[in-house]
Amino acid sequence: MSKIIILNGSPRLHGNTAGLIDTFKQNAEKRGHEITLFNLQKMNIHPCLGCFGGGKNPNKPCIQEDDMQQIYPAYEEADIVVLASPMYYWSITAQLKTVFDRLFAVAEKDANYTNPHKGCIMLMAAEGNNKNNFEPIEHYYHSLLEHLGWKNLGEIYAGGVMGIGDIKGHPALEDVKKLALSI
């Protein structure tokens, strides 16, 4: 089975994004997948310095000393990366973006800056609940995967969920369950 890492970019650890993650995790584990969850809000992760100093040490891709050292080995071993985030101003949260920027240090291990090939899933909760609301993040996600050479394994957008607990009973949870059971 696959090794899957979940990068939870939500600052609310028990919010609506957590509901999506919990449903995914439970069902993916039923299929025998190995899941590693990183709650980024609880981690000490600094922004990328843009120094191009990464990739020189295969055991420690980035020169910065912070909690990314926990993520790098799991990321490199993972077959699938799940990006989980609430929508913040029609994008992913700063917590998730910061980690993603720092993953460049792994690409720096290759002379051509080639990223490791992965499958990817997007799970997103948002206040807005119309198709146009998700267009900017869909564009970002698809562009990101195209440039990384990653395979889109699925994306679930749960709209109309702003208050903590609004995700309960949301139809997107069934979609997440089906997605997790399909991989």
Using alpha carbons only, give the angle 96, 172, 21 rounded to the nearest 5 degrees.
40
Order of strands across the sheet that contains 34-39? 34-39, 3-8, 80-86, 119-125, 151-158
pLDDT of 71 over the 90 cut: yes
Domains and CATH numbers, the chain: 3-182 (3.40.50.360)
Q: Are 17 and 84 in contact (CB under 8 A)?
A: yes
Q: What is the pLDDT of residue 25?
A: 98
**pTM for the whole thing?**
0.96
Q: What is the pLDDT of residue 75?
A: 97
Q: β-pairing, 3-8 with 34-39? A: parallel
Q: What is the pLDDT of residue 36?
A: 98
In angstroms, rounded to a whole number, what is the distance separating the alpha carbons of residues 180 and 156?
11
Between residues 76 and 130, the one the model is more confident about: 76
Q: What is the pLDDT of residue 78?
A: 98
Handedness of CA 49, 50, 52, 56 (dihedral sign): positive
Of 13, 2, 68, 9, the C-alpha closest to 35 is 2
> What average pLDDT does the structure give for the chain?
95
The 10s digit of each residue's pLDDT in 4-43 is 999 999 999 999 999 999 999 999 999 999 999 999 999 9
Q: What is the pLDDT of residue 55?
A: 86
Place of tokens 């910065």: 64
With bands split at pLDDT 50, 70 and 90, how would you rate the model's confidence at 57?
confident
